[in-house]
Amino acid sequence: MFISVEDSAPCFKGFTLILPAVSVGNVGQLAVDLIVSTLNLQRVGYFHTDCLIPMVGNNPYSTSSEDSLQLSTNAEVYWCKDLKLAVLQIRSPLIQTKTRSFRKMVVSWIKSSGFAKTVLLSSSHAYQRDDRQILGSPLRYLLTPALREQVTALEQLGWTEMEKISAFPGVMDSDSQRLCIPGGGVTKALYTDCCTEGVSMAVMLLFCSEGDNVPDAIALANHLNDWLHLLDPPAQGSVPWRIPSSWKLLFGSGVPPTIF
């Protein structure tokens, strides 16, 4: 459940919620890091749940030695009241046997908080694309029925809706078409739950491979900004995303010279 760090819980009514799926390359989580760091969002609460692998660490967005001592957990909520924006950052994988409980908790919180819309940032294995998905942009989107009015706006941005693929190779009739998001973690199931519960959700995902996924995260954050206008881009060039201090150790601390 959500626990506020203040005595009174924040009001999220009418806000936009952004959250990541723990998926291939951790692209959604890295994109959320960029949003929280760049917008300097305020931490307002966290989730107390046994559905995620326990984790605690130093402040991943520290800008000085003083605030680096603040502890962070596996699921924290940040916001910007002026932008009416809330972000749920998830930092550890789901426990497999408790995936359904986690989805139920998230959907219940979204509905009870009164969010205007929710955006799930995710990714999918590039090597499992079908022929139609190989060419063009690696970005795909999905909209629940409650948010279908955004279709025109997303099409004007040049985005492509996630294609359904045939459950049986060579059979192209509509009855055999199904949504497939390999490597997407909880993405498909959470999207399906939101469709059933009438939640206004958009899924944004990129096809990618494991490795250095920082460029993928920046690309996904740029696409999100094109739609939601969280930051005003400069006249020329890309959005100046602020790299979090925790990314200094994204690939470890390097090889100790004493081993040579």
Domain boundaries, the chain: 17-233+241-250
Residue 182 burial by Cβ neighbours in a 10 Å radius (0-12, 13-18, 19+): middle
Nearest alpha-carbon partner for 247 in 3, 32, 10: 32
Residue type (1 letter), 241: W
Q: Encoding tokens for residue 76?
A: 């924290």
Cα–Cα distance measured from residue 102 to residue 122, given in angstroms and rounded to the nearest whole number: 17
pLDDT in tens, 59-113: 899 888 777 788 899 999 999 999 999 999 999 999 999 999 999 999 999 999 9
Question: Residue 29 and residue 105: Cα distance in Å, rounded?
Answer: 19
Number of H helices, E strands in the chain: 6, 12
The third-level CATH classification (topology) of the domain covering 17-233+241-250 is Rossmann fold (3.40.50)
The tokens describing 220, both together, are 């996904």
pLDDT tens per residue, range 159-202: 999 998 876 666 666 666 789 999 999 999 999 999 999 999 99
CA distance 134 to 115: 35
For 34-44, give one letter per residue: b (16+ CB within 10 A) or e: bbbbbbebebb
DSSP collapsed to 3 states, 180-241: CCCCCCCHHHHHHHHHHHCCCEEEEEEEECCCCCHHHHHHHHHHHHHHHCCCCCCCCCCCCC
**How many other β-carbons are positioned within 10 Å of the β-carbon of residue 105?**
17
- pLDDT attached to residue 173: 61
User: Whole-model pTM?
Assistant: 0.92
